Amino acid sequence: VPPIHQKRTVSFINHFVVNTVSFLNKFALSCEEKLYEFENKLQRVEASLVILESR
């Protein structure tokens, strides 16, 4: 079996790295958006709790 050419190997690795980084960026963005939404909900709950405690 002949060896794979170095340029082809580098091309496969670059393709893998680009796809992996793209996936991780999308995943991180999704996590950040969910965390932001959760933080907003938590702030609303805290505000409601302050109102209830003041009664």
Question: Is 50 among the domain residues?
Answer: yes
Question: Is 46 among the domain residues?
Answer: yes
Q: Which domain holds residue 40?
A: 30-54
Instruction: List per-residue pLDDT tens for the chain, 55 residues long.
Output: 888 899 999 999 999 999 999 999 999 999 999 999 999 999 999 999 999 999 8
Q: Nearest 5°: CA angle at 32, between 29 and 38?
A: 145
What per-residue confidence (pLDDT) applies to 1?
A: 84
Question: Is 42 among the domain residues?
Answer: yes
What per-residue confidence (pLDDT) applies to 3?
A: 86
Q: Tell me how many domains the chain contains.
A: 1
